[in-house]
Chains A and B, each alone.
Chain A
Amino acid sequence: MDDWLQTVLDDLAKSSACGYLPQQTAATEPSVLAALALNGHGRTEAAQAVLDYLARAQQTDGSVGVRATEATPGWPTSLAVIAWQLFAADQHQGRIARGMKWISGMHGETLERSPEMGHNTLLDGWPWAAGTHSWLEPTAFHLLAYRAVKQRSHPRAAEAVRLLIDRQLPDGGCNYGNTTVLGQTLRPHVQPTGIALLALAGESDPSGRMEKSLTWLKWSLGSRTTASSLSWALHGLHAHGREVPQAAELLRGAYQRVQSHDQSPHKFALLALAALGEQSPLIGITRMDTPA
């Protein structure tokens, strides 16, 4: 194991329920990612603090907010469900069921089709915050939750797949969720592309755009790629069986940058997860429930 990875895991193990930055109040997203990373590297016991955190954070409606102290918005509910399912599904059946009930009842606002917007605004996905449109990353996370609980055939999951394919840019890659606006094609970004491709692992896309996205994503990686984008990109590529020979070198470079700047537990957790390659539990989810 690389030295940097050992250091990261030791630090995460000290406080797996963590914030986005050191000394911050614990937040759901970084805590779940830290727990998944620790679990993936065989440190299951150290991840227990996150399960305690999630149990406290779950609301009576089943949702889990962005921080234990902030019940809304509930977009991290998907991540909480994944953690419960992967760690101790038997113990947490009630929590998982309540979480999935909230997820299935949460919809993005659809919009009348307009020539101004290139994507299909009628497809039903998930918003970041209640009362707003569906966007790419929350839809991908919630699709992963359906796949984790082996409900890929659920109508909401099937429509999420259609939405994520619809939001691929014509030449590959994904924006945060638009494709063209007022006739102009928007720029692709590494992180949303990686997350969308991870959630779409095993799906087919006759239009060929998913393949273009994989090509674009692999091409876009380099020494300038930052920790969060790099980690999600590696997940997206590895989930589709694409090798990234320079992955170890890129991960080390990204770690050094985080270590010398904000020392974000969120980024450290992502890097540790990405270091698992195809063994990342997030990729494992997609292997368990790939449609025939």
Chain B
Amino acid sequence: MSEQRKPEPFSTVPRLQLPNVNRRTLIVGGGLAAAGIVLASQIRELTRGRASVFVAKNQKYDGPLVQTMRDGLIACGLVPDQIKGKRILLKPNLVEPSRDAPHMTTHPAIILAAAEVFRTWGGDVIVGEGPGHVRDTEMALVESGVADALDSMHLPFSDLNYEEVVWTPNRGRASKLPGFFFPRSVAEADLVVSLPKMKTHHWVGVTAAMKNLYGVIPGIKYGWPKNVLHHNGIPETVFDINASLPQTIAIVDGIDCMEGDGPIMGTKKPMGLLVMGTSPTAVDATICRLMDVNPQQVPYLALAANRLGPLDKRLIDQRGEAWEPLQSTFQMLDKPHLRALVRHRGVLVS
């Protein structure tokens, strides 16, 4: 029998391996410029350590989502003209879909609205996902309702679990992994749009834009679940994947959310929000504040702070609605590793 190994969901971060902050910032800025998608002002924002996040309230799945997304992305500095001719990969969260729990996965209306926005701006749009728990991706599409949605707009879909792969060096180096196998459609995208669901997560507290990108990792190489990542530390590999991907932005489905035992077995929490921005780290920090969670206590966000984007609210330019009046405490599992995330013990549930 092989040597026993203790689970280490919160293994110590090897901080000495982290890249120099200023150099990291420049690397990211260089990547953005290479993609040719974002404004020079955004690069200046990044080099100053700032980012913009747009919050929209009173949103519904049958509402004017396209207009909200257009307004929000432009408010965060995205220039529609720069999308023309670019390969845009929309990455929803379809981790383990069930018709009994539609609040677990990104709503099809969010995917369709994002596709319309980027198609209208001239982008070559595909939807891609590598579900983390189920090998039958077709089943994930059908159960989530996304299959019918894709058909309605003739949107191509890339099964990221089985695509041919491209080796990419690990530019984060928080974990020991020397690099990642990214599916070809991810590696070749000019822009990856993370389309997560706003949820609690029973190991790392919160899952939104950054954690959703676990789903670009191919199961054929990493397994179902993507256990290679778990064994190398969830926070570290979330950080590393985000540091190594092409240019990434985020649009978060915060309309019907999940609290309690997320990301799979939690309960529905309606919030009516859309949250977006060109820095997934800053978007996730704002998501945490909306959930009444301290982003500094979320391990992968603590790693990303001032390396991939800002967490400090003084460094995040709020567009649209202010987050403070919209804050609503999300229940968390009453587990030792989650207690530091919440201010009030009353929100812990078994």
**Contact of B162 with A127 in the complex, beta carbons under 8 Å:** no
Q: Are A228 and B139 in contact (CB under 8 A)?
A: yes
Contact of A111 among B4, B224, B225, B333 (CB under 8 A): B4
Contact between chains at B4 and A112 (CB < 8 Å): yes
Residue in B5, B159, B350 whose CB lies within 8 Å of A183: B350
**Which secondary structure dominates chain A's binding surface?**
loop
In the complex the two chains form, what is the Cα distance from A107 to B134 in whole Å? 22
Shortest C-beta distance, B318 to chain A (Å), equals: 34
Task: For the complex, give the distance between the alpha carbons of A25 and B163 in Å.
Answer: 9
**A228 lies within 8 A of B138 (CB):** yes
The answer, yes or no, to whether B228 is at the interface (CB within 8 Å) is yes
Q: Contact: B224 with A182, CB < 8 Å?
A: no
Complex Cα gap A45–B316 (Å)? 65
When the two chains form their complex, are residues A21 and B159 in contact, meaning their CB atoms are under 8 A apart?
yes
Q: How large is the interface on B (under 10, 10 to 19, 20 to 34, 35 or more residues)?
A: 35 or more
Dominant secondary structure at the B interface: loop
- Fill in one digit per residue for B203-224: 1 if any A CB lies within 8 Å of its CB, else 0: 0000000000000000111111
**Is A85 located at the chain interface by the 8 A CB criterion?**
no
Interface set, chain B 109-139, CB cutoff 8 A to A: 133-136, 138-139
| A227, B224: Cβ atoms closer than 8 Å | no
- Judge whether A167 is part of the interface by a CB distance below 8 angstroms: no
Known: A21-B159, A228-B138. A128 touches B165 (CB 8 A): no
| A128 near B136: Cβ-Cβ < 8 Å | no
Query: Cβ of A187 and Cβ of B136 under 8 Å apart?
Result: no
Residues in A neighbouring B221, C-beta threshold 8 A: 66, 70, 72-73, 129
Enumerate chain B residues within 8 angstroms of A135, measured Cβ to Cβ: 223-225, 227
Pick the contact of A181 from B138, B165, B202 — CB < 8 Å? Answer: B202
Inter-chain CA distance A228–B138, complex, in Å, is 8
A110-B4 contact given A128-B223, A226-B142, CB 8 Å threshold: yes
- A70 in complex: contacting residue of B135, B165, B261, CB < 8 Å: B165
Contact with B along A88-109 (1 / 0, CB 8 A): 0000000000000000000111
- The answer for the CA separation of A224 and B225 in the assembled complex, in Å, is 24
Report B-chain residues with C-beta under 8 Å of the C-beta of A67: 164
Which of B96, B165, B227, B228 is packed against the most chain A CB atoms within 10 Å?
Answer: B227
A133 close to chain B: CB less than 8 A: yes
Question: Per a CB cutoff under 8 Å, which of B135, B142, B219, B223 touches A191?
Answer: B135
| Cα–Cα, bound, A175→B2 (Å) | 24
A278 at the interface (CB under 8 A from B): no
Q: B98 in the interface, Cβ–Cβ < 8 Å?
A: yes
Asked if residues B142 and A132 are in contact (CB atoms below 8 Å), the reply is no
Assembly CA distance A73 to B226 (angstroms): 13
CA A258 – CA B164 in complex, angstroms? 20
Residue of B whose beta carbon sits closest to that of A231: B136
Q: How distant is B145 from chain A, measured CB to nearest CB, in Å? A: 11
Interface centre among B219, B223, B231 (most CB of A within 10 A): B223
Q: How far is the CB of A227 from chain B (nearest CB, A)?
A: 7
Question: Provided the pairs A25-B164, A137-B224 are in contact, do residues A191 and B139 lie with their beta carbons within 8 angstroms?
Answer: yes
Closest residue of B by beta carbon distance from A123: B1
Contact with B along A121-144 (1 / 0, CB 8 A): 010100111011101010000000
A229/B139 contact (C-beta < 8 A), A110-B4, A111-B6, A183-B350 known: yes
CB 8 Å contact bits of B131-168 with A (1 = contact, 0 = none): 00111101100100000000000000101001111000
Kindly list chain A residues whose C-beta atoms are within 8 Å of the C-beta of B163.
24
Within the complex, the shortest CB–CB distance from B64 to chain A, in Å, comes to 30
Instruction: Give the Cβ gap from A283 to chain B, nearest Cβ, in Å.
Output: 20
A184 within 8 A of B: yes
Docked complex: A229-253 residues within 8 A CB-CB of B? 229
Known A-B contacts A111-B4, A124-B1, A191-B139; the reply to A176 vs B335 at CB < 8 A is no
Interface flags for B233-270 (1: CB within 8 Å of A; 0: not) read 00000000000000000000000000001001100000
Name the 3 nearest CB pairs between A and B, nearest first: A128-B223, A132-B227, A20-B162
Chain B interface residues toward A at CB < 8 A: 1-7, 96, 98, 133-136, 138-139, 142, 157, 159, 162-165, 202, 219-225, 227-228, 230-231, 261, 264-265, 333, 335, 350
16 pairs of residues in contact across A and B, judged by CB atoms under 8 Å: A21-B159, A25-B164, A27-B220, A67-B164, A73-B221, A110-B4, A111-B4, A114-B7, A122-B1, A132-B230, A135-B225, A135-B227, A187-B265, A191-B135, A225-B139, A226-B136
A72-B221, A73-B223, A128-B223 given; 14 more Cβ-contact pairs under 8 Å? A20-B159, A21-B159, A21-B162, A109-B3, A109-B5, A111-B4, A114-B7, A124-B2, A135-B224, A181-B202, A187-B96, A189-B134, A189-B136, A261-B138
